[in-house]
């Protein structure tokens, strides 16, 4: 199991050092600094073995988190734990920075004591942790006996992510379907790979211990219902989704630990008792029938040894009534660029020497439109034999629909003990499609 956990600043100075196992000595702290943080070469692996001691590290801005062990630990678990540790810290004090870590080092030690015991990760749900690890310096007597047992049963219980007795005057929930659409296209316009990775983020402000059931236009469910002949009453698109005729094929999905996985496995229904506040209900991935919001058509011509001509056309490919926002096209330029002249039809374009790219920004663009940029790039003559790698042209944008075609069909809420019904809950759904790695080779 995890033998110790260290946090360093960018210089390699230790900010936090917690050792859990006897086989990890103080020298391990230095070994990591010398061999990884101060290493001359770029990091070649997130796992490093130094003198039979293994170091796992992740970096958040310029802070290094390293877990160390001498045993054959579950490597995936160690990384998951490190990410979780980052989440917990962020939930407590915001951004992970040297300043914040130093200011909260007592809290961090307290957290590390609680969520790792002898190197075994324990309950690390912020919701639960915040009930008894606070920065208030509460005295142990503050809690009543009931409160105490409520804390412990929540920390160890089946529903570790939600406490009892939550009350809201207005029961309300927000669903965000956030998708990132990824594309790799060849210069000729052939899709080399495309996938959508999506997340359903829920903000719940519900009283009591509500039972929720979530439905979407999952092909498997729709097909099953179609065959059965009877349409589930829930099939009515109550949440403003479109006709619900189309269904989408989900390649794979993963769920927050509140979702009953065995039920999903057997019935493909998504039921759960949600945590209070914001959390990520599910993640999913699709590869079929993706709506690619933009198409990039590049044209690069080398004119002699000192000049490049670049023309890039972008076409929007969605309903004309919808508007894409925050559009940015990034056209890489060679390292020996001496000057660039740009002409674009729409938006603003600038050559950014520090980023070795022409950045073209358009605030808004409606569907089924087209725009174009052309640039002349002057090059300095070089002796460098190495060819310019021609990195792909990348794009950023935001569109108000889900490129995967996912639609929320329903989210039903039952709270048998309190007297509010599904109809009393105010529900909001929003779809946002963003560019992930959206690249076209040139």
Partner 1 sequence: MTDSKYFTTTKKGEIFELKAELNSDKKEKKKEAVKKVIASMTVGKDVSALFPDVVNCMQTDNLELKKLVYLYLMNYAKSQPDMAIMAVNTFVKDCEDPNPLIRALAVRTMGCIRVDKITEYLCEPLRKCLKDEDPYVRKTAAVCVAKLHDINAQLVEDQGFLDTLKDLISDSNPMVVANAVAALSEIAESHPNSNLLDLNPQTINKLLTALNECTEWGQIFILDCLANYTPRDDRESQSICERVTPRLSHANSAVVLSAVKVLMKFMEMLPKDLDYYGTLLKKLAPPLVTLLSAEPELQYVALRNINLIVQKRPEILKHEMKVFFVKYNDPIYVKLEKLDIMIRLASQANIAQVLAELKEYATEVDVDFVRKAVRAIGRCAIKVEQSAERCVSTLLDLIQTKVNYVVQEAIVVIKDIFRKYPNKYESVIATLCENLDSLDEPEARAAMIWIVGEYAERIDNADELLESFLEGFHDESTQVQLQLLTAIVKLFLKKPTETQELVQQVLSLATQDSDNPDLRDRGYIYWRLLSTDPVAAKEVVLAEKPLISEETDLIEPTLLDELICHIGTLASVYHKPPSAFVEGGRGVQHKRLPARAGSGESAESPDVGQAVSAVSDAPPAVIPSQGDLLGDLLNLDLAPPTSNVPPVPSSMQMGAMDLLGGGLDSLMGDESETSASHYRTEVQSPQPPECSERELGGDVGGSPAMGVSLGGAPVGMPAGLGAAPAVGGGLGDLFDLGGGVGVTAGSYIPPKTVWLPAMKAKGLEISGTFARRSGVIHMDLSFTNKAMSVMTDFAIQFNKNSFGLAPAGPLQVLTPLSPNQTVDVSLPLSTTGPVMKMEPLNNLQVAVKNNIDVFYFSCQYPISLLFVEDGKMDRQVFLATWKDIPSENEAQFQIKDCHLNSDAASNKLQGSNIFTVAKRTVDTQDMLYQSVKLTNGIWMLAELRIQTGNPNSTLSVKCRAPEVSQYVYQCYELILRN
Site for partner 1 in 352-391 (CB under 8 A): 385-387, 389-391
- d(C-alpha 386, C-alpha 377), whole Å: 19
> Which segments of 204-311 does DSSP mark as H helices, in order?
219-228, 261-267
Contact pick of 127, 143, 201, 313 for partner 1 (by CB under 8 A)? 143
* Residue 254 binds to partner 1 (criterion: CB under 8 A): yes
CB nearer to partner 1: give 14 or 322.
Answer: 14
CA distances for 395 relative to 296, 333, 374, angstroms: 9, 15, 16
Tokens of 416: 């048998």
CB of 238 to partner 1, least distance (A): 25
Contact 302, 308 (CB under 8 A): yes
Maximum CA pair distance of the chain?
A: 82
Decide the pairing of beta strands 426-440 and 172-185: parallel
Contact 268, 282 (CB under 8 A): no
User: Judged by CB under 8 A, which stretch of 63-71, 291-299, 300-308, 418-426 contacts partner 1?
Assistant: 63-71
* Residue 313 binds to partner 1 (criterion: CB under 8 A): no
* Residue 434 binds to partner 1 (criterion: CB under 8 A): no
The closest of 101, 77, 74, 99 to 88, measured between CA atoms, is 101
* Residue 93 binds to partner 1 (criterion: CB under 8 A): no
Binding mask 318-337 for partner 1 (x = CB under 8 A): --------------------
Contact pick of 24, 63, 88, 160 for partner 1 (by CB under 8 A)? 160
* Residue 72 binds to partner 1 (criterion: CB under 8 A): yes
CA 368 to chain centre: 29
- d(C-alpha 274, C-alpha 206), whole Å: 9
Enumerate residues 6+ apart whose C-beta is below 8 A from 338.
Answer: 378, 379, 380
User: Judged by CB under 8 A, which stretch of 256-264, 315-323, 349-357, 358-366 contacts partner 1?
Assistant: 256-264
Beta bridge partners of 196: 181, 286
CB of 92 to partner 1, least distance (A): 13
* Residue 243 binds to partner 1 (criterion: CB under 8 A): no
CB nearer to partner 1: give 66 or 344.
Answer: 66
Q: Which of residues 175-214 bind partner 1 (CB under 8 A)?
A: 184, 186, 192-193, 195, 197
CB of 434 to partner 1, least distance (A): 14
Contact pick of 10, 11, 25, 26 for partner 1 (by CB under 8 A)? 26
Cα within 13 Å of Cα(127), Cβ side: 17
Contact 329, 395 (CB under 8 A): yes
- d(C-alpha 295, C-alpha 292), whole Å: 7
Instruction: Count the Cβ atoms, other than its own, within 10 Å of residue 340.
Output: 20
User: Judged by CB under 8 A, which stretch of 135-143, 165-173, 216-224, 341-349 contacts partner 1?
Assistant: 135-143
CB of 399 to partner 1, least distance (A): 20
Contact pick of 10, 120, 267, 378 for partner 1 (by CB under 8 A)? 120
CB of 146 to partner 1, least distance (A): 12
Q: Which of residues 275-304 bind partner 1 (CB under 8 A)?
A: 280, 282-283, 285
* Residue 29 binds to partner 1 (criterion: CB under 8 A): yes
CB of 427 to partner 1, least distance (A): 23
């Amino acid at each position: 199991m995890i033998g110790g956990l260290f946090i360093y600043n960018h210089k390699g100075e230790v900010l936090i050092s917690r050792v859990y196992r006897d086989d990890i000595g103080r020298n391990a702290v230095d070994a990591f600094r010398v061999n990884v943080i101060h290493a001359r070469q770029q990091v070649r692996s997130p796992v490093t073995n130094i003198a039979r001691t293994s170091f796992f590290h992740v970096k958040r801005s310029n802070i290094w988190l390293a877990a160390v062990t001498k045993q054959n630990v579950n490597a995936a678990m160690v990384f998951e734990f490190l990410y979780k540790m980052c989440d917990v810290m962020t939930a407590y004090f915001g951004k992970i920075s040297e300043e914040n870590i130093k200011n909260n080092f007592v809290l961090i030690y307290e957290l590390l004591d609680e969520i790792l015991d002898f190197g075994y990760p324990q309950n690390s749900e912020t919701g639960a942790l915040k009930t008894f690890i606070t920065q208030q310096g509460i005295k142990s007597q503050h809690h009543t006996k009931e409160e105490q047992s409520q804390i412990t049963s929540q920390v160890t219980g089946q529903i570790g992510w939600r406490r009892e007795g939550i009350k809201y005057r207005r029961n309300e929930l927000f669903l965000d379907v956030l998708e990132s659409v990824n594309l790799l296209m060849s210069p000729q316009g052939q899709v080399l790979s495309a996938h959508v990775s999506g997340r359903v983020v829920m903000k719940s402000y519900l009283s009591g211990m509500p039972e929720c059931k979530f439905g979407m236009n999952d092909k498997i469910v729709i097909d099953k219902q179609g065959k059965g002949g009877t349409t589930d009453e829930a099939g009515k698109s109550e949440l403003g989704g479109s006709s619900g005729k189309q269904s989408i094929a989900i390649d794979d999905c993963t769920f927050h630990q509140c979702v009953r996985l065995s039920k999903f496995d057997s019935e493909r229904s998504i039921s759960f008792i949600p945590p209070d506040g914001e959390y990520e209900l599910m993640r999913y991935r699709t590869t079929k029938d993706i709506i690619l919001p933009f198409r990039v058509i590049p044209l690069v011509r080398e004119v002699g040894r000192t000049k490049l001509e670049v023309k890039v056309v972008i076409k929007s490919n969605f309903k004309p009534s919808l508007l894409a926002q925050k559009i940015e096209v990034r056209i890489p330029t060679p390292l020996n660029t001496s000057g660039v002249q740009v002409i674009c039809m729409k938006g603003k374009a600038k050559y950014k020497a520090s980023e070795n790219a022409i950045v073209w920004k358009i605030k808004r663009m409606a569907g089924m439109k087209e725009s174009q940029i052309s640039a002349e790039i002057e090059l300095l003559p070089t002796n460098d034999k190495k060819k310019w790698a021609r990195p792909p042209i990348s794009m950023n944008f935001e569109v108000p629909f889900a490129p995967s075609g996912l639609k929320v069909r329903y989210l039903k809420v039952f709270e048998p003990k309190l007297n509010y019904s599904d109809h009393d809950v105010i529900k909001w759904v929003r779809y946002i499609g963003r560019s992930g790695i959206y690249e076209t080779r040139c």
